[in-house]
Structures are given as C-alpha cells and as structure tokens.
C-alpha cells in the first residue's frame, strides 16, 4: 500500500487501520476494500474481538465477525493487531458479576487461551490489557482490579505468552500524549512488570487526539520507549471541534504530519494505526458530539488534507 509502503521504507513495520466485518460487507465495501488494500498494512478489529463480541455468555464463543476480518487481512497479506483481551469496557455482565478471585483468574485464562489460541500465528500483536489507569494514575476500579489487584495484569500477560508464544504482547491506553500522572503510572507499572519477569513486549498509545493538541506526542512516545519496550500508536484520530472549517482542515494536515514524524523520530516506534478510514464511520460522531472529521478520508471517501499530512511526513 501507499502509506504502508512508505512507512516500511522508513524502517517501520506498518501503517494500519481499524476495520470490522460490517465494513467489508456493507454498502461502502468497495471503497473500503480499495483504500484498505492500497494504504494499510495492518488491521485492528474495531469491536469484533472484544470480550462482549467473542464470549457474550460464559463458554459461548462467537467468532463469525472476528473471523471475517482475520480472513480478509490474512488473504490480503496484512498484519493483524488483536484488540483486546482484558478491558473493563465492552465486557459482558457475567464477567462483571464474578466475585471470586480464583474463578476470575480461570475466566481470564480461559478467555485468553481460547481467543488467542484460535488465531495463533495469525495475529502479530495483541493488546492484552487495555485502559487500566484513571487519569490521576490510580488503577481503574474494574472487576479485575477489585478481585485481583495489579496481579490481574500479570495473569493476563502470562496467559497470553502461553497461548501464542510468538505474538507481541502490548499494554494499551489513552491520554499518554502529554505529561502527567497517567503516563507516569504507566511507566512505573511497566518497570514493575519487567522486574517481576512478566512477559510484555510493547506499549500502545491510543492517540485519540484533539486538533491543535499534538505537540507532546513525540516526547511522551520517547519516554514510553525508554521503558525498553516497543511502542506503537494504536488508535490515532485527531478530532475537530465543530464547525469544521477549511482552516481547521489545514491545521489537521499539520497535526497528522507532526504525529507521523513523532513515530518516525522514535526508533522503538514500530507503527501507526488510525482508528478507521472514513469520517463517515468514525466513533467520534457518537462519542464526542461536538467534534467531527477526525480521520484521513471524508464522508465520501475522498482523501482529506490530513491524508496528505501523513503522506508528506513519510
Ligand atoms: C470504540 C469503537 O470505535 C466504537 O465503535 C465502540 O462503540 C466503542 O469502542 N479505546 C479503545 C477502543 O481501546 O476499543 C475504542 O473503540 C475507542 C477507545
């Protein structure tokens, strides 16, 4: 692909995007397949590998949509990033309801074994745990942390290494784009995990950014790389407060350029994934109603200035 090829020419592993099965079968599938085929070398499931999608009831696994994305990516020779195994969100009620530490440990191990085992050798990297921190750097109050403390992270990574010894294992979070207690806590946690011998290979920074607020990305990426792990920008988008104007779309060109350069300038940064192809399908519309137009293609699948910002940085 174009952006992907250029990333590889710069010594990186991929330029990727998020996709789900419905993108590949819905009314925009021809645009999506054409763009994904041309520009993207790595695919992340946007939703269909999450716990509520693959194990909605205990022991009842549903892999249809996840398989469709894996099959498309595999037959088109793309890398896959597996997203995500242990996360407090999009987690079915039956897991929230567990109240014994030993039972929860088994449930985590079974889930990871089954999901990673199914795709062993086909998914290059996994977000093993996602969003474990609050903004102030304390652990999020999930069922995992309540019953197991920090040890839930060790349990998840050890199960993951066991399920697919060749997969790169990542911890992933958002708001690691500027200094503060959250990134400090992440760096400290990685240090503890490594000193305990927990198998971890990378740290993902989601990079759900706001227009004009991208200046800290490179220095924080460098700090994350200073842990000794690989780093990846895993869910990049740069949302614009409405109304979207021509001037803001120009600013978006330079913001995407800045973020792309940040990865190029940090040797341990392995790649960038954007969180979708077209603004038409972005999660930003429903999640941040006063923001819009965060991606590289517009609602009609035309390349935006933002696209050329990435291209120009490469
Ligand atoms: C989002 C998806 O894009 C939405 O479609 C879904 O409704 C909610 O989740 N951090 C993550 C991603 O790790 O999994 C989230 O994806 C966006 C924030």
* CATH code for the domain in which residue 152 is found: 3.20.20.80
Residue nearest to atom 15 of ligand 1 (CA): 46
- With the most atoms of ligand 1 within 8 angstroms of its CB, the residue from 18, 23, 44, 46 to mutate is 46
Closest atom of ligand 1 to CA, residue 172: 13
* Domain total in the chain: 1
Angle made by CA atoms 12, 24, 284, in degrees to the nearest 5: 70
Q: Look at phi and psi of residue 155 and say left if phi exceeds 0, alpha if psi is from -120 to 50, else beta.
A: alpha
For the Cβ of 283 lying below 6 angstroms from any atom of ligand 1, the answer is yes
Does ipTM come in above 0.85? yes
Measured distance CA(158)–CA(85) in Å, rounded = 13
Does the Cβ of 206 fall within 6 Å of ligand 1?
A: yes
Q: Give the pLDDT of residue 93.
A: 98
* Helical spans, DSSP H, in the chain: 2-9, 21-25, 29-39, 51-54, 64-75, 93-96, 101-118, 143-148, 151-163, 181-195, 217-225, 246-265, 284-287, 305-313
In angstroms, what is the span from residue 197 Cα to ligand 1's centroid?
30
Please give the pLDDT value at position 297.
Answer: 98
Residues of the chain with pLDDT under 70: 1
Residue nearest to atom 9 of ligand 1 (CA): 47
Contacts with 310 (C-beta within 8 Å, 6 or more apart), sequence order: 3, 15, 256, 257, 260, 296
pTM of this prediction exceeds 0.90:
yes
Q: Is 46 in the pocket of ligand 1 (CB under 6 A)?
A: yes
Question: Where in the sequence numbering do the catalytic residues fall?
Answer: 235
Both tokens of 115, joined, read 């999901």
CA-to-CA dists, residue 105 to 11, 101, 102, 152, 228, angstroms: 39, 6, 5, 8, 28
Domain of residue 13, residue span = 2-313
Task: Identify the pLDDT of residue 69.
Answer: 98
pLDDT of residue 1: 61
């Amino acid at each position: 692909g174009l952006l992907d090829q250029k990333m590889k020419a710069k010594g990186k592993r991929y330029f990727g995007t998020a996709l789900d099965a419905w993108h590949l079968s819905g009314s925009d599938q021809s645009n999506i397949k054409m763009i994904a085929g041309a520009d993207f070398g790595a695919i992340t499931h946007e939703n269909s590998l999450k716990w509520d999608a693959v194990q909605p009831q205990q022991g009842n696994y549903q892999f249809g949509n996840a398989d469709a994305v894996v099959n498309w990516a595999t037959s088109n020779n793309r890398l896959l990033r597996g997203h995500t195994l242990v996360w407090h969100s999009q987690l079915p009620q039956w897991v929230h309801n567990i109240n014994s530490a030993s039972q929860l440990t088994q449930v985590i191990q079974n889930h990871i074994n089954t999901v990673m085992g199914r795709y062993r050798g086909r998914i290059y990297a996994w977000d093993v745990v996602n969003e474990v921190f609050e903004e102030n750097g304390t652990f999020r109050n999930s069922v995992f942390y309540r019953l197991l403390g920090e040890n839930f992270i060790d349990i998840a990574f050890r199960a993951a290494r066991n399920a697919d010894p060749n997969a790169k294992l990542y911890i992933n979070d958002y708001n690691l784009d500027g200094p503060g207690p959250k990134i400090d806590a992440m760096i400290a946690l990685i240090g503890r995990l490594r000193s305990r011998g927990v198998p971890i290979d990378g740290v993902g920074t989601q990079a759900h950014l706001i227009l004009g607020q991208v200046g800290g990305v490179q220095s924080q990426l460098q700090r994350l790389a200073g842990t000794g792990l690989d780093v990846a920008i895993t869910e990049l988008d740069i949302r614009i407060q409405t109304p979207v104007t021509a001037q803001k779309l120009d600013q978006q060109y330079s913001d995407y350029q800045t973020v792309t350069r940040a990865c190029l300038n940090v040797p341990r940064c392995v790649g960038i994934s954007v969180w979708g192809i077209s603004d038409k399908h972005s999660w930003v519309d429903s999640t941040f109603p006063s923001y819009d137009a965060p991606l590289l293609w517009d609602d009609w699948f035309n390349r935006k200035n933002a696209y050329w910002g990435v291209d120009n940085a490469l």
